[in-house]
Amino acid sequence: MSAASPRAGAEDPRLVPRKRRGAELWLLLLATVVGVGAYIAVGLGFDGEIPTDTPRLAGGIVGMALIAHVAIRRLAPYADPVLLPIVVALNGLGLAMIHRIDLSLEADGSPVGPFAGNQLIWTALGVASFIAVLLVVRDHRRLQAFTYTFGFLALVLLLLPLIPGLGVNILGAQIWIRVGPFSFQPGEVAKICLVVFFAGYLVVKRDALALAGRRFLGIDLPRGRDLGPILVAWLLSLGVLVFQRDLGSSLLFFGLFLVMLYVATERPGWLVVGGLLFAAGAYFSFLTFSHVQARVDGWLDPFSNSEEYYQIIQAMYGMAYGGLLGRGLGQGDPSMTPFSYSDFILTSLGEELGLAGIMAILMMYALLVERGLRTALVCRDAFGKLIATGLAVSFALQVFVVAGGVTRLIPLTGLTTPFMSQGGSSMVANWAIAALLLRISDQTRRPAPEVRPLEADDATQVVKMR
Amino acid sequence: MDELTLTLIKLGFLAVLWLFVLSAVSVIRSDIFGARVETPRGAKNGAAAKPAKPPKPRRRPRGEPTSLIVTDGPNAGQVVSLEVQPILMGRGSDAALRLDDDYVSTRHARIATNGEQWFVEDLGSTNGTYLGSQRVTSPTPIAVGTPVRLGKTVVELRK
């Protein structure tokens, strides 16, 4: 991950700086069409008529998209043109789906819900956090000065739910805090802090971590004394697992650290060590915790206990019913799956949009991750590279864990689907992540200050007398 | 709402979804491949560095060399076509075959043809141009596969 020579930008035709805000506006328009179109399709499919509040909702979504767009034009004019539209499209789709499940829950007289109204407010707060991050973080390199502050903040945020009186235990997981009427999941924000901390830490330490080591079986293994940070990350993840009973976050944090460590040091040895640690931790928690055993059982053989694994069975039936093209928005029964609006929103979408729709959604996530990794590739400073990688990988891991879990590729673990599943903290945190990625990509795609390359003629040639 | 309308709505929405994905991909695509904008600086460079193309290279008889390949040295593996000649070799930015070899002069040697034979000519280089152990002092004919040494670099003509 050595940085390219500083004047590479001036010579490389691919890096001719272009703002491309027009392309972004066009994509944004399409993205709002996706969101509003989904809302209308839900109305038509469910009630047979276009919902009366469509203009209001469309106005709200288009308004928010435009505000975010103008903010980018003002604050990060060279930023990547694809990120924001994808985020808006995913968010709009998620909103429409949550609204659709609200309709079913209401028709069934379910005690939970409705969620869509709150989710819309959270989206607005997400856009606000997006703009705030763009406003406050004018140059991502400044964040490196606060490396350990962010590390400390992450630790505090992770510990908050364990404080008696503040933390709330919902369905066995101790990951929420409740302040007044609001509940919040600090782990989502801790994710961002951890990425910044890991990046700042690894930029300084990566040489020591990369260069010292023993060669064993053709793989460079790190020195024993350098294992400290990875052991700490491992213990932290295990701690989250043991005390908060949150499988997903624990997996996310450890995977994030492992990937960033690997990217920073270019040593496959770390992956081996990390993989072994992960296997050990996973096996240990499988033996020790009943809830982990339950997840594994539900993954391997959900039909062994159709009471306990009702949720995953329903999700599978839903997706099977959806088939290739889906049952059509508003015409399926996604609400039969418990938590179809949050953890299982992907299967709800899979039921109503079919394989074709779910593939489009996964494609959007893939593009999101690709843009993040591309930003990391082109970024000129190592710190920015690591942050962008970390944030992109956090999206990738999250989507993999959620989509893999609900489709029974891997054991089910609770993580939010970024920008889609119902829940405020994840919405706000993910919009902030999008803003950080845009900030880094703006910094990266901005024209480099003009440096006149040395003429080859000026250089002295080395003469060797034979 | 009859079945047909609902099916059309369903398919229409999927189409919109994929239209969005494909538009995003096409924006990314033009970001990667279409970003070559002719800046004034680039245009000037291009005009200066590229001499007017010769009318249309006549068909060479079989067995004539068509390219010059670097077989040894820091640039080993680099190939230039013999379409535009003479070919200037050196460390300078105006050289047709630019070599990153510290022992090569800025304008080291050139290779040209009189229509029948190819010649290598030393351009007053510091460390000289060699054919085997023989230093090239005047334009010397070379054949396909003859190694020509400049500094640490060895080049030869290929068919």
Distance CA A318, CA A339 (A): 13
Confidence of residue B96 (pLDDT cuts 50, 70, 90): confident
The pLDDT of residue A371 is 92
B93 touches A at CB < 8 Å: yes
Q: Do B24 and A328 touch (CB under 8 A)?
A: no
Highest-confidence range of A17-31, A153-167, A439-453, by mean pLDDT?
Answer: A17-31
ipTM: 0.85
pLDDT at B134 over 50: yes
Any alpha helices (H) in A137-227, and if so which ranges?
A: 147-159, 186-211
User: pLDDT category, A240, cuts 50, 70, 90?
Assistant: confident
Q: Among the listed ranges A115-124, A216-225, A332-341, B30-39, which one has the minimum average pLDDT value?
A: B30-39
Task: State the average pLDDT over residues A62-90.
Answer: 92
- A vs B, Cβ pairs < 8 A, gives 119
Predicted confidence at residue A180, as pLDDT, reads: 67
The span from the CA of B3 to the CA of B141, in Å, is 83
Q: State pLDDT tens for residues B98-114.
A: 888 888 888 888 888 88
pLDDT of residue B140: 86
Distance (Å, whole) CA A333 – CA A351: 8
To which H or E segment does residue B106 belong?
none
**Minimum distance, in Å, between the CA of residue A451 and any CA atom of chain B:** 14
Contacts of A26 in chain B (CB under 8 A): 23
pLDDT of A56 reads: 84
Distance from CA of B117 to the nearest CA of A (A): 31
- Which of A27, A45, A331 minimises the CB distance to B23? A27
Write out chain B residues lying below 8 Å of A5, CB-based.
none
The pLDDT tens digits for A113-166 are 678 888 888 999 999 999 999 999 888 888 999 988 998 888 888 888 887 777
Chain A residues near residue B14 by CB distance under 8 angstroms: 325-326, 353-354, 356-357, 360
- Max mean pLDDT among A11-20, A139-148, A366-375 falls in A366-375
- Tell me if A82 and B28 make a contact (CB, 8 A cut-off): yes
Each domain of chain A, given as residue ranges in start order, spans 16-447
Asked if B123 has any chain A CB less than 8 Å from its own CB, the reply is no
Cβ separation B10–A329 shorter than 8 A: yes
What is the model's pLDDT at position A453?
A: 57
Residue B144, pLDDT > 90, answer no
Residue A28 pLDDT level (bands cut at 50, 70, 90):
very high
Alpha helices in A212-267 (DSSP H): 228-244, 247-265
pLDDT band at residue B63 using 50, 70 and 90 as cut-offs: low
> Which pLDDT belongs to residue B12?
92
Name every chain A residue with its beta carbon within 8 A of the beta carbon of B39.
Answer: 16
Instruction: For residues B148 and B82, give the distance between their C-alpha atoms in angstroms, rounded to a whole number.
Output: 16
Cβ(A345)–Cβ(A357) below 8 Å:
no
- The Cα–Cα gap between B1 and A10 comes to 59
